Structure 1
C-alpha cells in the first residue's frame, strides 16, 4: 500500500474513533513539540530559530521533532494523531495540508490572529497567506513564499564560454543552453545521438529537472494552458489541451530528444541536488530550499536565474506554513512560538540561514534576505517572481495525485511512452482520486 493511502486510512480511523475536537489541553506551559523535516542544513536553520526564541524568552521550551523526509513527516503526523499524542505544531507545504484540513486535524487560528499584536495579515504576501485558508478559515501561517528558479554553476559557464541565463529567456533558450553545457570528460559537447554510449555519457549534464506536476505546471501556465479544469474545485487534469501538450512534450524531450538531463539510473545513483553540488550539473530547477545546501559549496561560484517563458512569466508557489494541531496539549505556548517564528524577528533569523523567501513583505525586502554577503547574489529573482506565482490546487487528495502522476511522467521522460498514452493514463488514474477529494 502506498504511504499516502496508509496515511488517509490512519486519519480516517482516528477521527471516526475519537472525533477531532479542540483536544484535552490548551496549557500555557510547554514543552512545545514542533514536527519538521529537511536536509541537515534546513534542520540547522530551525534549530537556530528555536535557540533564539528560547534565549529571548527564558523558560520557554520548544522541542524539534525531526523527520527524515516529507513522507516520514506525513506518516509521523498521522500516527501521532491516531495515537492521541500529536505534536503541538508542524511545518507543512500547502500542497499537502489539505488532507489534514479535511479531517479537521488542524486548529483554526482566526481568533488568535484577531487578538495578536505581533502578526498582521496585511504584512504578508497574499498568495502565500491565502494558500492556507480552508473553507474561509486561516488554518496555518506561512513562513515562506518561494517559487521555482534555475540554479546555475557560474564557474562552469565561464569555463565553457556559454552566456549565463538572463531574465526573459525562453524555453528554446533553455534547451540551447542546456545542450551547450552537456559535456564529456574532455569538455566536448555531447550530442543527444551520442550520449547513450557508456564511453560518451556526459561528465556534466546541462540541466536537472524532475518529471513532476509541480515542475510542469508553470510552463503549462506560461503557454496559456491549465493543468486542471477548475483550480478551486478540480475534477480532472487538463493536460490534453494544446498548451499543456506542448509543455509536456518539451519536458520529456529534454531526455528523449536532447539528452541534457541525467538518465533515471544516473538520478538513482546521484540525485540532482547532489550532482549540482558536486559540479556535475550545470543548471537545476529548484525552489529556495536548495539554497541552504548549496551555501556549503566551496569549489565553484553559483547563482540563480528566473524560469524561462513560453508566452508570459508564470511561477508556481512553494510555501510552507506552521500549523497547530487540534489535539495540541500546549496551544497557548505553541501560539507564542508561532507568533515569534512568523513575525519579523523570527523570519529574519530563518532568512539569514538561506532557507526561506520570507512571507513577511518587509523582511523579504531587507538585507536579511537580499544582503550580498552569501549567495545567491541574484536573490531578487525570487521576489520578482512573486507577482507571477500561482498556487496548485489544495484538494485533500492532491498528494495522491502528485504521487500517481510522478510515476507516469517519469516513465514518459525516461522510457519514452507515447504522449497520447501518457495523457490518457494520467486522466484514467487521477479522475477517481479527484472525485474522492474535499476542497478548501
Structure 2
C-alpha cells in the first residue's frame, strides 16, 4: 500500500510538472515552485509575464506554471493532487470556489508570514477582497484583484447607429431600451421583441450578452433591495421568492423571451458571448475585468466599459482571485517569496499592465499601471468607482455545487421560458441540501 501511494504521488507530481507549463527559470538544485492557474490564452500569457519578471528580478529562482484548461479542470487537478500527496505549492482561485479546500484544511494560513513581511501591509489592500479570503478568522489567501461586473460595449457600433452610450446612473429599463435599439437584422434595421423569431429577421447583431447565472443575477437583486440568501454569513437557502428578487429574476428572463435582445441558446452554443462581442456581433456584454485581456486583441472596432444599470442603487458583485499556498507544499519558503512578489506593488503593476486585473493593491489601482490611457478601456475608472458598493457572494464550501445546480435551471428559464414559480421552487429544492452540507468560514 505504501509503495502504491508513493507511485501515485510520483505520477501526480510528474503530471503537474509536465502539463501546460509555460514559464519559469531553471536553477540548479531545489524543486521549482509550482503555481496552478487557468484562464484564456491571453490571461495565461499575463501570468507568464509575471513569472518571467520574477525570474529576472530574482536570478536563480524557479517558478513553473501548471496550466489547467478551465475552472473545473483546475478544481479537479487540485483535489486529485492533494489526495495523492503531491499538491502544487500555490494555486490561483476565485473566492467563490476556495471554500471547499479551506474546509478540508488544504490551504496554509498566511497570517504569520504577512506579519513578518516588509513588502506586504494588509492596510494597502481593498478590505472587501482581503475579507473574501478569510476563513475561521485567518487570512488563507492573498487577493490579486478586486474586480466587479461591468458592461463592455462596442463604441463603434453605437456611433454608427446613433445610439446613446451607456453611462453612470442608467437604469435596467435604460439598458433594455439600449439593447433593443442595438439589436439589428442583416440590413441594419432594428428588430423588436419576438420579431427576431422570424428567419428573415434573425439578428445579425444582438444588443446584449448575459450569462444566466447566480453571479450575474445577484447584483440586480441587491440593487433592487433584495437578497439572494437568507443569511450571507451562514446561508441555509436562496431567497429568490421575495418580491425584489422575483422582479430582478423575471426581468433577466424577459431579456430573451419578451425582448429578444440576447442570443438564443443555439447562438450561444455556436459562439459564446465574449467571442460574439469580439467578432462585432454583440453590442454589449456583461463581464468582469478578466475579459479585458481578450478584448485588447480586438482591432476592428473601439470598445469601452460602463457601470452596471441600477434599480434603487448601485451595487456590484465581487470578482476576486487570490494566491493560496497548500499545506502540503514541500517548498513553502520559496512559494511565499513568489507570492509576496506577485501581491506586492511591483508584481501587481506588472499584471495590471497586461489588462488582467483591477489591482487589489490600492495605490497600484489608482496609478497609471491600471488607469493609463494607452490601452482600452479608456474609462477603466468604472471598475474603481464600483468598489465601495461591491458585495461578495457567500463563502460556503459547497458554493461551486450551488452555482452548478442553479446554472442549468436559470438557463432553462432564460431560453425555454420555464414558469417563474417553477424556477424559484426548483432553485430552492435543488440547493437546500447543498447549503445544509456546506461549511462556513
Q: Is the 8 A contact 1:95 1:394 kept in 2?
A: yes
Task: Determine the structure 1 residue equivalent to 2:6.
Answer: none
Task: Determine the structure 2 residue equivalent to 1:375.
Answer: 376
Task: Determine the structure 1 residue equivalent to 2:126.
Answer: 125
Secondary structure of the equivalent of 1:262? Answer: coil
Residues 206-245 of structure 1 correspond to what in structure 2 (within 5 A)? 206-245=207-246
Task: Determine the structure 2 residue equivalent to 1:342.
Answer: 343
Residues 384-423 of structure 1 correspond to what in structure 2 (within 5 A)? 384-423=385-424
Q: Is the 8 A contact 1:29 1:332 kept in 2?
A: no
Q: Distance in 2 between matches of 1:325 and 1:163?
A: 49
Q: Distance in 2 between matches of 1:107 and 1:61?
A: 21
Q: Is the 8 A contact 1:30 1:333 kept in 2?
A: no
1:91 and 2:92 aligned: yes
Q: Distance in 2 between matches of 1:411 and 1:40?
A: 30
Q: Distance in 2 between matches of 1:390 and 1:92?
A: 18
Q: Is the 8 A contact 1:228 1:236 kept in 2?
A: yes
Secondary structure of the equivalent of 2:196? Answer: coil
Q: Distance in 2 between matches of 1:164 and 1:194?
A: 24
Task: Determine the structure 2 residue equivalent to 1:154.
Answer: 155
Please tell me the root mean square deviation across aligned C-alpha atoms, in Å.
0.9
Q: Distance in 1 between matches of 2:115 and 2:288?
A: 32
TM-score w.r.t. structure 1 length? 0.93
Instruction: Report deviation, 1:29.
Output: 4.5
Q: Distance in 1 between matches of 2:135 and 2:31?
A: 28
Task: Determine the structure 2 residue equivalent to 1:314.
Answer: 315
Query: 4+ residue stretches of structure 1 with deviation over 4 A?
Result: none
Secondary structure of the equivalent of 2:197? Answer: coil
Task: Determine the structure 2 residue equivalent to 1:31.
Answer: 32
Task: Determine the structure 1 residue equivalent to 2:440.
Answer: 439
Q: Is the 8 A contact 1:29 1:333 kept in 2?
A: no
1:56 and 2:34 aligned: no
Q: Distance in 1 between matches of 2:37 and 2:425?
A: 37
TM-score w.r.t. structure 2 length? 0.93
Q: Distance in 1 between matches of 2:122 and 2:36?
A: 24
Post-superposition CA distance 1:101-144 (Å, at most 9, x none)? 00000001011111011100000000000000001010000000
Q: Distance in 1 between matches of 2:194 and 2:328?
A: 58
Secondary structure of the equivalent of 1:322? Answer: strand
Instruction: Report deviation, 1:388.
Output: 0.4
Instruction: Report deviation, 1:193.
Output: 2.2
Gaps of 5+ in 2: 1-8, 10-28
Secondary structure of the equivalent of 1:151? Answer: strand
Secondary structure of the equivalent of 2:312? Answer: coil
Post-superposition CA distance 1:363-399 (Å, at most 9, x none)? 0000000000000000000000000000000100000
Residues 44-193 of structure 1 correspond to what in structure 2 (within 5 A)? 44-193=45-194
Post-superposition CA distance 1:385-439 (Å, at most 9, x none)? 0000000001000000000000000000000000001001100110000000000
Secondary structure of the equivalent of 2:64? Answer: strand
Q: Distance in 2 between matches of 1:189 and 1:34?
A: 48
Q: Distance in 2 between matches of 1:235 and 1:131?
A: 19
Q: Distance in 2 between matches of 1:183 and 1:120?
A: 51
Q: Distance in 2 between matches of 1:255 and 1:100?
A: 37
Task: Determine the structure 1 residue equivalent to 2:427.
Answer: 426
Q: Is the 8 A contact 1:222 1:309 kept in 2?
A: yes
Gaps of 5+ in 1: 1-13, 15-27
Q: Is the 8 A contact 2:152 2:304 kept in 1?
A: yes
Q: Distance in 2 between matches of 1:191 and 1:323?
A: 48
Instruction: Report deviation, 1:194.
Output: 1.2
Task: Determine the structure 1 residue equivalent to 2:266.
Answer: 265
